[in-house]
Amino acid sequence: MVMTAEGLRARCARRMSLTPRGFADCSWLRQVFLEVPREEFVPDRVWWPARGDGARYPLIDRNEKPRAWLKAVYEPGAALITQIDDGTVAPTGPADGAFTSSISSPGVVIELLRHLAPEPGERILEIGTGSGYTTALLAHRAGAACVVTVEIDPCLAARAERRLRAVGLDPEIVTGDGEQGYARGAPYGRILSTASVRRIPRAWLRQLKPGGVLVTPLDSPFGYDLLVHLTGDGHGGASGRAVAQVEFMRVRGQRAQRPYTELGWPAELNTTQWRDLRVRADQSGQHITAATAEAACNW
């Protein structure tokens, strides 16, 4: 049986339609997924995120194993690693090190966009361009002229720009520190981060318009990130809740570990409580409480 990108994309969409964390009732999201060729944004050489023989991460080379590469591109739960140790490890074979960039799995990308719920013509800021794939989905939904994406790594930004232009999309691509957002294009109706943070940057809150939505992975004491959905108040603050368990790479400026009590987390939390968490972030700090708590823990 000959596998095509279109066929695998359709199969991936069918599989994601069967899970509660998939498309749900978002027909626009399924259509956008089918319209954007994910394979155009995946480098020819990527690492599989599970260790293989020799306890290293196997390299999948499109030129050597095109079928395996294409199947990996459309595996709903597979993130493909595009960079290790900030690019110091060359993609020439199995490797070890810290993952510093990836193309997130189709399932995770779809979940991010489902919670973000962008509208056509809405101004969107994306933090972490990476491969440019999520940028392409956003551009298809909102219109490329409405999308600004920020990437700290100039090599990744340049590659993403080439791939986006190759498929006919022209969003604004900014090379810089995503924690600063992009004030020149503010305010934004939607802000999406594809890298996790320990604390929500104040710049994002200032650049979010009243009623705008901010979706970001937030590091938690539970051993995984929580995807939080916040709504802007128009005064440099936003509040909301945790909506899913996820795992993302940290923004570069927040890799250093910090005590969670310094980041607004209560001193004691049960791992089953994450669905009850309420999150408030403003220019004074970050405040995280369980729904039944009477007082916030601030930083």
Catalytic residues, by residue number, are 104
Half-sphere exposure of 15 (CA within 13 A, CB side): 12
- Compute the distance between CA of residue 128 and CA of residue 126 in angstroms, rounded to an integer: 6
- Compute the distance between CA of residue 281 and CA of residue 287 in angstroms, rounded to an integer: 6
Q: Which helix (H) or strand (E) holds 67?
A: helix 66-73
Decide: 28 and 141 in contact? Cβ < 8 Å: yes
Measured CA distances, 169 to 117, 130, 143, 147, 223 (Å): 20, 16, 9, 10, 37
Measured CA distances, 9 to 64, 160, 169 (Å): 21, 21, 20
Strands of 238-246's sheet, edge to edge? 172-175, 147-151, 124-127, 188-193, 208-219, 225-232, 238-246, 277-282, 285-290
Decide: 278 and 291 in contact? Cβ < 8 Å: yes
Angle between helices 27-35 and 106-116 (to 10 degrees): 140
Q: Is the peptide bond before 187 cis (omega within 30 degrees of 0)?
A: yes
